[in-house]
Structure 1
Amino acid sequence: MSGKRTWLFRIISMALPLLLILLLECGLRWFHYGNDLSLFIEYPQNKNYLFLNPDASKRYFINQKNATTGNVEPFLKAKPAGTRRIFVLGESTTIGYPYFHNGSFHRWLQYRLANTFPDQHFEIVNLALTAVNSYTVLGFARELVDYQPDAVLIYAGHNEYYGAMGVGSTEKFGGNPALVNAVLRVRSLKIMQLAANLYQKVTVLDASGKSENDGTRMQRMVAEQQIPFQSDLYKRGVEQFRANMDEILDILAEHNVPVFISNLVSNEADLKPFFSFPLKNNQFPEDFEANAVSTYNLGKQEYARGNMNSARQYFSKARDLDGLRFRAPGAFNEIIGQLVKSHSNAHLVDTHDVFEANSPGGIIGKDLILEHVHPDLKGYALMSDAFYEALKKAKFISPAPGAEMSFAQLSRDMPVPVIDSLAGVYKVANLKNSWPFNAALDRDSVKTGTFEERVAFDLAYRRISWENAMDQAYNHYIESRNYKEAREIVEALILEQPNDAALYSRSAMLSGQLGDERSALFSFQKAFSVAPSFESARYLFVLFLKKDEPEKAIPYLDYAISNNTSGLNLAPVRTLVQEVVSLRSQLPIDSADISVLSRIASAYYRMDNRDGALLYARKVLALNAHDKDALQLVNALGHSQDPATR
């Protein structure tokens, strides 16, 4: 009995703490302590939608004040049939810093896909955050597989050392990826959140009055400013990246999700290394196994001599030797290439090759990179093109011949307002004025003379929200009758809110003001697909008839008749349209049949389709310049019958 009692007491002594922990967890949940750290939550404005939880990043930060938030891009809980859902994972470059919104590569891609495939619906949901690394990407990947992804796009690696849980970060509690990931998986427990909050309060008390907010977030998160190349800490960062990225691809492979993962780009030609370890014995070596600055200077010399291959090697080595690791080492691109080869669901996006091909001398520098790692607008456009071409190569998308929006068209038409572009310039200027850049800000370059400059300055320094900036710009352009710029603002808002039918209709109306019927038709079709209405259907059938495409007009005409809120008698129009369709079917047999052409012209005229009537009257006159009915119709429409004006 004594032996049994001993075992009983042992079991109780082990079970009692677990029971107390369980009771504490239940109590904390009962009183709604802490945060919901799940990846997605219901969108407050529409319960049928989900969006990225603003608190999702708090799982990865010990100091919750350093936690960051991402985009608000709602998507339907129940994925509609035919929808292609694409999630985007990564860090500050992936979210589009310093432009955000339509500056990011995923928005360039979204705009191109929408215009290349107008009849298809793509949901591109960007889950990227600033100040995170592969631990966050891995955690998000574990959860997003439950939301029916058709593909995942990844660009990550530059924050590996100093992002949340990085080996050189202040935001870490261990260096072993398996241990860190195990702890992260239970951090959603309320008791873990309580422990983290208590720890944070203790560390604040131990800080002897020093403010937690000293310096930028970039500076606060760096614990190790000197990480030598090939040191133990350097190698731990490389292994951390390899282990996490490998697991990400494994998880997505288990769920048969194709992954498009990009290699990394950074400023190598025009950025002096942040920290350079002293040369040993003050000797300048003959090879480039020196310190970062001497190696970088060798690259500059070779570049000036026109020896680009040699310069590229020096610049690349200087980046790797830089002791302050705000740029991913070359080893990361090697790892990405290896992982793509070992995972059948993975596809390489060769952004690095694209950037080199568009850089002077084939060496990436200030022509595409704003400071150390963030692209300028041209760079983000090129990054989107790299992903687009990878999607094509993998046959995830198959554009119809002649229907594809070219990169040149994308570069010309992408709606990135001047205000966004200027705000990005101001943000980078401010960034370079702080650690670790410590470059003096050229005050003369920050001009605030024009309307756009003033609004952009306020946006960059967070005096106004982006939505408020766009609202100011739209009203300004409408008041000055600058409909082209007003339409660009509306199209920028559409990319931000792709499910807002009213924005599509507004864009269509502005296109009408500009005489751009092709764009008006595209926008009205989008408005109708999002929220069918009598008004959009009416505009659509009228536009298709003007374009002499009666077959395409009929579905919208039928909808307008069935949902007639205007009291218009559209039945006679429907009869005339059907007559035109029937007559047009005879033209392939004899395209020079004046009788058929005249009857089509007459039918169009009776339905008040002046463009269609004039088109066919002129076709008749081209065959018989003296046709009385055609001449009378042209004159009635107020157009000259002079062939030179046809």
Structure 2
Amino acid sequence: MTASTKVRGWKLWLGRLALSVLVPGLLVGLAELGLRWSGYGWPTSYFVPGESEGRPCWVENDRFAWRFFPRGLERHPPPTLLRAERPPGSCRIFVLGESAAMGDPRPAYSMGRYLQVLLEERYPGRQFEVVTVAMTAINSHALLPMARDCARHGGDIWILYIGNNEMVGPFGALDVLGPAAPPWLWVRARLAAQEWRLGQALQDTLDRWRRRPVPPGGWAGMEMFSAQRLPPGDPRRERAYRNFERNLRDILKVGLQHGVRILVSPAAVNLKDCPPFASVPGRMRSGATTETLEIWLARGAEAERGGQWAAAAEAYGAAVALAPEHAGAQYRLARVLLRLGRREDAHRAFQAACDSDALPFRADSRIQTLTRQVVEQMHTERVRWLDAAAVLAARSGDGIPGRESFFEHVHLNPEGNYALARAFAEQLEDWLPRAADASAPREWLSESGCADRLALTDWNRISIYEDLRRRLRQPPFTAQADHEAELRWIDSQLEALRARRAHAQIEQARRVYAAALERRPGDHRLYENQAEFLEAVGDLEAAAGAWAAVTRILPHHHLGWFQQGRLLARLGRLEEAEQALKAAVSRRPELSEGWLELGQVLLRRQRAEAALECFARAHEWLPQDWRAPFQMGRALQQLNRRAEAIEQFRLALRLNSEAVEPRFQLAQELAFAGRTPEAREMFEEVLRRDPSHLLARINLGVALVQLGQLEAAAEQFRRAQAQAPQNPLVSNYLAQVESRLGRRP
């Protein structure tokens, strides 16, 4: 073979190789362009361009979580505003994390918002922008792309408050939200592929082909994990730990590459007042049995009930010796050790209970250790560690974090958020940009002073505790030891707050909101707080106005439109309510509450066909909710489609057998159809559930008349008259029945 022949052969193979690479690449590129041109797909960054009060800004991407959650279970970022251009000399701080960093259950009082107030009050001549970039149910797999997006928006300082969801979040150790702890490289490849429209199309196709079961109605919070268990030594935990370590390391590298200073704190957890969510025996001592374990636990419980703390500690200690990984045994031991004043031993046992929890919703000691190790290995002063658990332990009389800082397992109350914000502020003071003036900083603002700046009043606290009570009445909280005692404690807090309210305090609270808004007129959270208060005191007109202000600041977000529309409907301003509610559901199509409210407005406007469509949409998004079929039945009544209405009312009762109104409407329809005996039974059942239901009593009386039971009918009308003495209809019915019985009315 000649040299020229070799050259031609080499060129031929090079050409073939080029064709094998270029042609598929060209086809992929054309497919990607075609999908983008057709409008398919969604942006994957955390921030997208937006507008606030006519000015360009960056806002949260409502579809950011689509890469991390199965469709139907996706979470949404809280409303976020980021200035498009930073004022010269200002300091931009990002707080990154999960729901605890977000400030759940009330982001208006998050650690980031306390930090903003603390810095502004201490350094009045400087400008600070504290932006919380956090979401419910995410973990480090999502935080890494969130951090990359923050890096593109010029932050000076990052605060990482992370670690609670590494086992239960997307790609965590439990498989509720997807594969259980796959290798980090697999996760990165999947997420990178979905940044392309072609990758999104492929993922959508795969999801339709192998659809994962989704709880009826979609997201059900922590309850979705209730049936799962993750023993302490499970290999999935180890994979999740490795993934967390890798993600955290890469988050820090991203920040350092962009000149950011980073304060890192693993999430603190409620050790003292949060029993484990689930316990498994785990690795037991050789020869031990679960029966023996239960005997020792029962002995400990009996001694504890009798106040015999030493005997209880001995019994629980024996149980722990048999099964060191039994979270419940560790927690019970810790509780009695604390009673005995053995605080250090109690602290270790409380931590062991957290580490062994078979439903790991709290950051354990391994997460804490890994976080500190990664920070120390950075070997730079631009990354610092803060022990949040120690900060909160200092607030407790016994040095163990508990309900003085937490609402439940991980979410901080306002006092806890203030304590951490103060610790953050003190840690990063020397990182703040130098001010043009040399004025000395002021003292740190007190907790109560911050509460005034954030417009935190008793009305807001009451609303928080009411939400908290609803949360704790759901699994897995219901399976915790001392669950009923925890509910009683919440009730005591509500009782104290309600007793503290007085009429004179309403005007004082109005002044608090007004003063806070005067300082920060563009703060949508302050308007939300004010609206909550105004509705609680019955000033619906002003509350609707506060929500209108929210829509001006956050025109892209559904919440202000929904709340404004809901209140306008109550005020009878139906046309305005319809427009606001349409704006809400256009921004969040899966907002079942929005469709329900809009349907009811349309029903009141005698537009039953349009209302029926809205109720059908609500039922599609939340099929287990009885209210949608009930409202569909009402719309069908208005359309005179009574047989269909009956079916919808029956469906509503199948979904909620305790509901009164569907039963009453069904009884009315049965009476209208001439099925009087069935109607009578239904009316009687309504009254058994709600003896004050006047219309049910009147209708029962009419049904009894039709059945010829005049004495029984007269009794019902007399009771109705006692309820409504001035009601002419009742008086007329009673007079007619008495006349037929030969009596004077």
* Residue 49 (structure 2) aligns with: 42
- How far apart, CA to CA, are the structure 2 residues paired with 1:301 and 1:482? 44
Specify the alignment match of 1:175 in structure 2.
Answer: 182
Residues 322-361 of structure 1: matches in 2 within 5 Å? 322-343=357-378, 344=380, 345-361=382-398
Match of 1:226 in 2: 229
Give the structure 1 partner of residue 192 of structure 2.
185
- 1:272 shift after superposition: 1.8
Match status 1:140 vs 2:175: no
- Map of 2:477 onto structure 1: 437
| Equivalent position of 1:53 in the other structure | 61
- Cα distance in 1, alignment partners of residues 400 and 330 from structure 2: 15
Name 1:407's counterpart in structure 2.
446
Matches within 5 A, 1:265-284: 265-278=268-281, 280=284, 281-282=288-289, 284=319
Amino acid corresponding to residue 298 of structure 1 in structure 2: L
CA separation of 1:211 and 1:276: change in aligned 2, threshold 3 A: closer
> What letter corresponds to residue 66 of structure 1 in structure 2?
L
Q: Residue 373 of structure 2 aligns to a residue in which SS?
A: helix
Partner residue in 1 for 2:326: 291
The equivalent residue for 1:615 is none
- The answer on 1:321 being equivalent to 2:360 is no
The amino acid across from 2:94 in the alignment is: F
Following superposition, the deviation at residue 139 of structure 1 comes to 0.7
Contact 1:49 1:76 in 2 (8 A): yes
Counterpart in the other structure of 2:203: 196
Q: CA deviation at 1:316?
A: 0.5
Range that drifts further, 402-411 or 168-177: 402-411
Partner residue of 1:100?
A: 107
Superposition deviation, residue 496 in structure 1: 7.6
Q: Is the contact made by 2:91 and 2:433 (CA closer than 8 Å) also made in structure 1?
A: no
Deviation by residue 1:14-63 (Cα, 9 ceiling, x = unmatched): 554443332221111001112122222222333532122222222322x1
**Aligned partners of 1:400, 1:421: CA distance in 2, in Å?**
37
Structure 1 stretch 297-306 or stretch 181-190: which is displaced more? 181-190
What residue in structure 2 maps to residue 484 of structure 1?
508
In structure 2, what residue type is equivalent to 1:294? A
Question: SS at 2:269's partner residue?
Answer: coil
User: 1:119 & 1:127 partners in 2: Cα distance?
Assistant: 26
Offset of residue 484 of structure 1: 3.2
1:101-180 map, 5 Å: 101=108, 103-173=109-179, 175-180=182-187
Q: What SS is found at the alignment partner of 1:201?
A: helix
**Once the two structures are superposed, what CA deviation does each residue of 1:599-629 show, in whole Å capped at 9, x if it has no partner?**
xxxxxxxxxxxxxxxxxxxxxxxxxxxxxxx
Q: 1:168 to 1:482 in 2, by over 3 A?
A: closer
Q: Deviations over 1:53-107 (max 9, x none)?
A: 222222322x133222223332322212011111111000011011121x11111
- Is the CA contact (8 Å cut-off) linking 2:117 and 2:450 kept in structure 1? no
Give the letter for the 1:51 counterpart.
V
For the Cα contact (< 8 Å) 2:103–2:110, is it kept in 1?
A: yes
Q: What is the TM-score of this pair, normalised by structure 1?
A: 0.66
Partner in structure 2 of residue 263 of structure 1: 266
- What does residue range 237-256 of structure 1 map to in structure 2 within 5 Å? 237-256=240-259
Counterpart CA distance in 1 for 2:268 and 2:404 is 13
Report the counterpart of residue 423 of structure 2 in structure 1: 386
RMSD over aligned Cα, in angstroms? 3.5
Q: Give the secondary structure class of the aligned counterpart of 2:442.
A: coil
Q: Deviations over 1:119-139 (max 9, x none)?
A: 211111111111100111111
Over 3 Å counting, the alpha-carbon distance change for 1:251 and 1:224 in structure 2 is farther
Cross-structure match for 2:628: none
**1:416 matched residue in structure 2:** 456
Match of 1:77 among 41, 61, 84: 84
Q: Secondary structure at the match of 2:324?
A: coil
8 Å Cα contact 2:465-2:494 kept in structure 1: no
Alpha-carbon shift at residue 304 of structure 1 (Å): 1.1
Count of residues in Structure 1 that have an aligned counterpart in Structure 2: 473
User: C-alpha displacement at 1:13, in angstroms?
Assistant: 5.2
State how far apart, in whole Å, the 1-side matches of 2:209 and 2:157 are: 43
Structure 1 gaps of 5+ residues are 454-472, 507-646
CA shift for structure 1 position 257: 0.4
Structure (1/2) with the larger helix percentage: 2
Superposed CA offset, 1:508-562 (max 9, x none):
xxxxxxxxxxxxxxxxxxxxxxxxxxxxxxxxxxxxxxxxxxxxxxxxxxxxxxx
Q: Aligned partners of 2:433 and 2:452: how far apart in 1?
A: 24
Alignment correspondent of 2:30: 23
Alpha carbons of structure 1 residues 124 and 364: separation in structure 2 relative to 1, 3 Å: same
**Cα distance in 2, alignment partners of residues 53 and 82 from structure 1:** 28
Contact 1:151-1:258 within 8 A present in 2 as well: yes
Distance 1:231 1:224, change over 3 A: farther
Paired AA for residue 350 in structure 1: D
| Aligned match of 1:213 | 217
Aligned partners of 1:244, 1:167: CA distance in 2, in Å?
Answer: 15
CA contact (8 A) 2:266 2:387 kept: yes
Contact 2:166–2:172 (CA under 8 A) maintained in structure 1: yes
AA partner of residue 435 (structure 1): P
Shift of 1:434: 1.2
SS at structure 1 position matched to 2:152? helix
Q: Following TM superposition, by how much is the alpha carbon of 1:155 offset from its aligned partner in structure 2, in angstroms?
A: 0.6
Over 3 Å counting, the alpha-carbon distance change for 1:316 and 1:491 in structure 2 is: farther
1:401 Cα deviation after fit = 4.5
TM-score, normalised to structure 2, is 0.58
Gaps of 5+ in 2: 1-7, 294-318, 531-745
What secondary structure is seen at the aligned counterpart in 2 of 1:381? helix
Same amino acid, percent of matched pairs? 24
Partner Cα distance (1:497, 1:37) in 2: 31
Q: Is the 8 A contact 1:111 1:495 kept in 2?
A: no
Counterparts in 2 of 1:294 and 1:86: CA distance versus 1, 3 Å? same
